[in-house]
Chain A
């Protein structure tokens, strides 16, 4: 079946603009994760959704970052008033049930460049 998809694949924006990144998880996967991967660094956890439970937002770096998910489908990650340090690849992953230690399936990522 189809894997995790993300759009856009690349996004160039100007400092101060808002951006919205989209993630389509694998159908039937109840858990969805967002990560940030800066150049030359590992993955940084941002936020986790599990079904209709309150999301785990503990990884969001500032209040400029927010994410939503409608039910068990699409999720959007919004970055307001983008800064140059927000430039990174944003990865989305989904898994079944969300219970540890479920395998996460990753999308190809959105490469964000803030000028």
Chain B
């Protein structure tokens, strides 16, 4: 069965520092992978997605993620974090045999300190 693991429940970084949020998936074939951000009081917003091709994908707000098949990972990165990046981040996977069902991780809460 498909699943997504986000090992870090909560991360705190200083403003201006780099960020990496981890995501590991379980799926037998090439998955479709997504990162969503949920800001307080707002709905989930898509940051970026991977379907195929270039394994390094660029998203909005300066985020990027790299698909590594050998590690079953799709980690999210940002070179310099802004205070407005404080939010909950969710990784999601859709497999070719899961119909239209998205599997979401439990999320990583990001705190940014000045």
A-side residues, CB < 8 A to B, are: 3-4, 31, 33, 35, 40-45, 48, 50, 56, 58-59, 91, 93, 98-101, 103-109
Q: Is the CB of B43 within 8 A of A101?
A: no
Least Cβ–Cβ distance between B84 and chain A, in angstroms:
18
B70 within 8 A of A: no
Q: Is the CB of B43 within 8 A of A104?
A: no
B-side residues, CB < 8 A to A, are: 4, 6, 32, 34, 36, 41-46, 49, 51, 90, 92, 94, 96, 99-107
What is the total of A-B residue contacts with beta carbons within 8 Å? Answer: 65
* Sampled A-B contacts (14; CB under 8 Å): A31-B100, A41-B107, A42-B104, A42-B105, A42-B107, A56-B101, A100-B32, A100-B96, A100-B100, A101-B51, A105-B43, A106-B44, A108-B41, A108-B43
How many Å lie between the Cα of A100 and that of B104 in the bound state? Answer: 15
Main secondary structure of the interface of A (DSSP, over half): loop
How many Å lie between the Cα of A101 and that of B106 in the bound state? Answer: 20
- Interfacial chain A residues near B94, Cβ < 8 Å: 100-101
How many Å lie between the Cα of A103 and that of B51 in the bound state? Answer: 11
Q: A100-B32, A109-B43 are in contact. Are A42 and B49 (CB under 8 A)?
A: no
Q: A4-B43, A101-B51, A106-B43 are in contact. Are A56 and B90 (CB under 8 A)?
A: no
- Interfacial chain B residues near A104, Cβ < 8 Å: 44, 46, 102
Least Cβ–Cβ distance between A81 and chain B, in angstroms:
26
Q: Which of B90, B100, B107 has the most CB of A within 10 A?
A: B100
How many Å lie between the Cα of A17 and that of B55 in the bound state? Answer: 49
Q: Out of A33, A35, A103, A105, which one reaches B49, CB within 8 Å?
A: A103
Look across to chain A and name the residue whose beta carbon is closest to the beta carbon of B43. Answer: A106
Q: Sort A-B residue pairs by CB-CB distance and give the 9 closest, nearest first.
A: A101-B32, A106-B43, A43-B104, A106-B44, A42-B106, A42-B104, A108-B43, A101-B94, A45-B101
